[in-house]
Structure 1
Amino acid sequence: MPGIRHTSIRAALSTVPLVVGVLATTVTPAGATTPRTDTSPLTCRGQGVDPDALIRHKTETVIHAPLHTIWKLQTDVERWPSWQAPVTTAERLDHGPLRRGSVFRWTTPAPPTPTTPATTLEITSTVEQLKRHSCIRWTGPAIGDGLRIDNGVHVWNFAKVKGGVRVSTEETHTGEQVESDVPTATRILRAGLEQWLRDLKTTAEAHAHHHQQQH
């Protein structure tokens, strides 16, 4: 939820684009390749985001770095603040490699909106599914002064492609407060996810470049 990230007010394709996207995918001629920008939800071990959530966003990028580098950055939660400016603190509430059942607590600033004040969100995330070097899904609430996201569901997929790794992410937010202004909550979610991917790409590619220079 950074930047209202993992359970920040991140969020959703508006209803109309979502419907259009579904139709566009549905009417693809037989035998044609379905575009990668389809609206099918991301999953990890068969579980995805909240199918009924009004606030959702899905995006992806290709990172030109080894999968193990990207995976380590993403799963070494306590080091998130070192490369993600929107993550102000991060702590693991268990030990060892990130795995199913792991819990971590992190904070991120939330911008003011027409209905909520600027605040800092405290997010408690629980890893529900994880497959090493492949996918992660975590869930949990985000709570700040005057702002609450009852539940955020965040799914990440990692897939090797030519020259690097395609990192895809999708997140939903639910809660009466954020659902009172879905367009604003969705814009904030979108901005948070896009920045997370940019930060991950920049950091992973810098690590990869440094490693190449050493060898």
Structure 2
Amino acid sequence: MPGSSFRWQTHGLDITSTVREIVPGKRVVWGGPAGGIEGVHVWTFEQTGGRVTVHTEESWSGAPVDAATAELGQALHDSLTAWLTALKARAEQTD
């Protein structure tokens, strides 16, 4: 539900994110601050037959990003790739 918050951890950061938008079966947007960075994460889902294509985008802003744009841009890319790889592996798991 938009406005709901949840806590999670990644790369040593303890993050509290807030759900900003939900379109059931189509789109989820959430975000929040972590280590001086404001992040917004968008997940979209498109079903075609029995398959679902997942697309994700995330943006970061804040002083740490301004100070290390290339490094943090690569970290963000690597993080999104790892999330999608893990999601794909779990979705294809047959147990």
Q: Scaled by the length of structure 2, what TM-score is found? A: 0.92
Partner of 1:179, secondary structure, is helix
Taking the aligned partners of 2:79 and 2:28, their CA distance within structure 1 comes to 18
The runs of at least 4 consecutive aligned structure 1 residues that moved more than 4 Å come to none
Taking the aligned partners of 1:121 and 1:138, their CA distance within structure 2 comes to 16
Aligned residues: 95
1:161 — aligned with what?
Answer: 48
Aligned partner (choices 199, 202, 206) of residue 86 of structure 2: 199
Aligned partner (choices 3, 6, 22) of residue 130 of structure 1: 22
Partner of 1:177, secondary structure, is helix
1:106 — aligned with what?
Answer: 8
> Greater Rg, structure 1 or structure 2?
1
Higher RCO structure, 1 or 2 (CA under 8 Å, sep 6+): 1
Which runs of 5 or more residues in structure 2 are unaligned? none
Cα deviation code 1:10-50 (max 9, x no counterpart): xxxxxxxxxxxxxxxxxxxxxxxxxxxxxxxxxxxxxxxxx
Cα deviation code 1:51-81 (max 9, x no counterpart): xxxxxxxxxxxxxxxxxxxxxxxxxxxxxxx
Aligned partner (choices 178, 202, 206) of residue 65 of structure 2: 178
1:132-147 counterparts in 2 under 5 A?
Answer: 132-143=24-35
What's the C-alpha RMSD, in Å, of the aligned pairs?
1.2
Structure 2: which amino acid aligns with 1:121?
Answer: L
Percentage of matched positions with identical amino acids: 41
1:84 — aligned with what?
Answer: none
The question of whether the paired residues in 2 share the 8 Å contact of 1:123 and 1:142 is answered with: yes
- Structure with the larger strand share: 2
Structure 2: which amino acid aligns with 1:152?
Answer: G
1:121 — aligned with what?
Answer: 13
